[in-house]
Amino acid sequence: MTTHDDAGGPGADPPLPHLPEDWDRALAVAAHPDDIEYGTASAVARWTARGKEVTYLLATRGEAGIDGLHPDRAGPLREAEERAGARAVGVDTVEFLDHRDGAVEYGPALRRDLVRAVRRHRPQVVLTGAYTVRMVGGIVNQADHRAVGLAALDAARDAGNRWIFPELADEGLQPWDGVRLVCFAGAERPTHGVDVTGEPLERGIASLAAHAEYTKGLGAGAFDPGRFLTWAAHRAGPALGVRAAVLFDVFPLTLDGPPPWEQ
């Protein structure tokens, strides 16, 4: 069976569709500082340049992410790097939930926090990371990523139901059922893509480069952000029929057009 890695060759699959861009607001939900920067930030750069509003929401401050640095020091450092990385792609609002890095638990507490954010920011699109055990390339996904990705999917739907977490109404947060798409980066089987050729990719590289202390903490042999993101985007590009792309597995929460039984 031919895969999108072979796009362009004899018998190759047709290009994936472009992710719809007929929306105004997106909420990017991640477990740790730097998660969004491994590709999604390049797409964010494209969208903010076109006037779309994107907000970042981090479940943790990444305090357990640097082996040689105590969490009390690593957390504030990584928070600052995340804010700098966000600015590089036109994102002004970055929020942190203070769940414990490395021990994020899927459950009502996390879902409630995410529903609160969805109701407050009222996005039409939620961006997050794959919640599957395997990610693109077959590598094992990290536990926090899995918990946050699945919670983001559920929260996008929960946010529209006034009887799920009704206590949020006491905070003045009314239901929001306007999320149309939940988009998962790093998925094994993407369904859509975003063209990030040129400036969006360059700004995405600058966003990941803002995490200098974190990447330095990975030790000898740590990758170069420019080389890594360029390789990844160029490898994904043929699946979309472009030079450089970021790919997503897109879950629609609303029907586009009449239901099948009325067509």
Look at 226 and 260; give whichever has higher pLDDT.
226
Residues 216-257 pLDDT 10s: 766 655 678 999 999 999 999 999 999 999 999 999 998 776
Decide yes or no: CATH 3.40.50.150 for domain 25-252: no
Strands 125-129 and 25-30: parallel
Look at 136 and 151; give whichever has higher pLDDT.
151
Residues 56-69 pLDDT 10s: 999 999 999 888 88
pLDDT at residue 215 in the model: 80
Q: Which residues contact 81 (CB under 8 A, 6 or more apart)?
A: 33, 34, 210, 211, 212, 213, 214
Residues 112-141 pLDDT 10s: 999 999 999 999 999 999 999 999 888 899
- 65 and 211 Cβ atoms separated by less than 8 Å: no
pLDDT at residue 8 in the model: 43
Q: What does the DSSP assignment read for 137-150?
A: GGPBPPHHHHHHHH
Mean pLDDT on 172-201 = 97
* pTM of this structure: 0.91
